[in-house]
């Protein structure tokens, strides 16, 4: 389910809670909504609202941490990509084919992660999770170094390629959401109950309904931002492709 669809569902649930509270006001006997009853309900809902605010804050902090971690790993991978290309270049002219293959693999991966930017000149043979880097490692192993320097560059290139493969798998594991759905459902339930208490005591006029709509929209917007930061490869909040494309521009030089 998309982030936008989830946010719309949250908006409907929260606003529906407020409207349900307004509806219950007409059904409940007036003595059940006396001053003492209102005080108890308000104190109870204040506790639930505090819990919901605390959890939303923790979810926001977790999503922001996830976004920063993914951006940092992308910059590290970009640096390793440039370093691997430079290491193969220092090995000698024998690695020209290897560098061309590596550039096509990187271009394919960038185009796969950011397809809307439509990288030019991409002709990938392999776009598997690690098949491409594995093919490159086999070609590096097939090299026949003629001196100690070339042996060192071959060993270093293999080590860097292993680091890139490990980082690739780590990034793949982070594609799934880090937010547990039962956790989110409980928070939305709390917010719905809180808004139901708002509707229970709110005057039934257009101004009040409009205010509740704006508040429900704000809550849905917060959930949308949290989910967008948790999955920053598409949607409103996205990781920039600038580090990867800068690295791609340096390949083959």
Q: How many helices (H) and strands (E) does the chain have?
A: 8, 0
| 221-225: average pLDDT | 91
The answer to whether residue 50 scores a pLDDT higher than 50 is yes
The answer to whether residue 28 scores a pLDDT higher than 80 is no
pLDDT band at 174 (very low <50, low <70, confident <90, very high): low
Q: From residue 84, give the alpha-carbon distance in Å to each of 77, 106, 137, 144, 152.
A: 10, 12, 11, 18, 13
Distance CA 68, CA 85 (A): 26
Side-chain-side CA neighbours of residue 72 (13 Å): 6
Per-residue model confidence (pLDDT) at position 230:
79
Per-residue model confidence (pLDDT) at position 131:
53
End-to-end CA gap in the chain: 43
Distance CA 77, CA 56 (A): 32
Per-residue model confidence (pLDDT) at position 127:
35
Of residues 66, 118, 65, 136, the one with CA closest to residue 245:
118
Quote the mean pLDDT of the chain.
Answer: 83
pLDDT tens, residue by residue, 75-125: 898 999 999 999 999 999 999 999 998 998 888 888 877 776 654 443 333
Counting residues of the chain whose pLDDT is more than 70, the rounded percentage is 87
Per-residue model confidence (pLDDT) at position 62:
85
| 212-218: average pLDDT | 94
The answer to whether residue 42 scores a pLDDT higher than 90 is no
| Residue 100 contacts residue 252 (beta carbons within 8 Å) | yes
| 229-244: average pLDDT | 77
pLDDT band at 235 (very low <50, low <70, confident <90, very high): low
The answer to whether residue 10 scores a pLDDT higher than 90 is yes
Three-state DSSP class for residue 223: helix
Element (H, E) at 123: none
Per-residue model confidence (pLDDT) at position 175:
54
> Hey, what are 108's tokens?
């394919």
> Hey, what are 162's tokens?
């292993």
pLDDT tens, residue by residue, 114-164: 776 654 443 333 333 445 788 888 889 999 999 999 999 999 999 999 988
Place of tokens 């690695």: 95
Contact partners, residue 94, CB within 8 Å, separation at least 6 = 143
Of residues 40, 29, 50, the one with CA closest to residue 194:
50
Of residues 233, 139, 119, the one with CA closest to residue 177:
233
Distance CA 190, CA 42 (A): 14
């Amino acid at each position: 389910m998309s982030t936008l669809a989830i946010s719309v569902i949250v908006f409907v649930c929260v606003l529906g809670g407020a409207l349900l509270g307004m509806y219950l006001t007409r059904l409940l006997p007036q003595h059940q909504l006396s001053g003492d009853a209102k005080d108890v309900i308000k104190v109870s809902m204040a506790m639930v609202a505090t819990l919901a605010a605390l959890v939303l804050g923790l979810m926001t902090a977790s999503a922001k941490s996830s976004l920063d971690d993914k951006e940092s790993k992308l910059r590290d991978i970009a640096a390793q990509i440039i370093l691997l290309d430079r290491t193969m270049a220092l090995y000698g002219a024998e690695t020209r084919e290897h560098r061309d293959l590596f550039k096509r693999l990187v271009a394919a991966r960038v185009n796969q992660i950011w397809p809307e930017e439509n990288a030019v000149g991409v002709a990938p043979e392999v776009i598997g999770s690690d098949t491409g880097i594995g093919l490159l490692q086999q070609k590096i192993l097939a090299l026949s170094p003629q001196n100690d320097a070339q042996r060192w560059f071959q060993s270093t290139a293999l080590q860097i390629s292993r680091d890139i493969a490990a980082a690739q798998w780590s990034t793949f594991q982070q594609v799934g959401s880090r937010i547990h759905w039962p956790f989110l459902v409980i928070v939305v339930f709390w917010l719905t109950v809180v808004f139901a208490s708002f509707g229970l005591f709110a005057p039934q006029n257009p101004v009040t309904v409009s205010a509740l709509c704006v508040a429900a929209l704000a809550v849905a917007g917060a959930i949308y931002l949290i989910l967008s930061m948790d999955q920053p490869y598409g949607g409103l909040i996205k990781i920039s492709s600038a580090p990867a494309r800068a690295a791609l521009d340096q390949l083959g030089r």
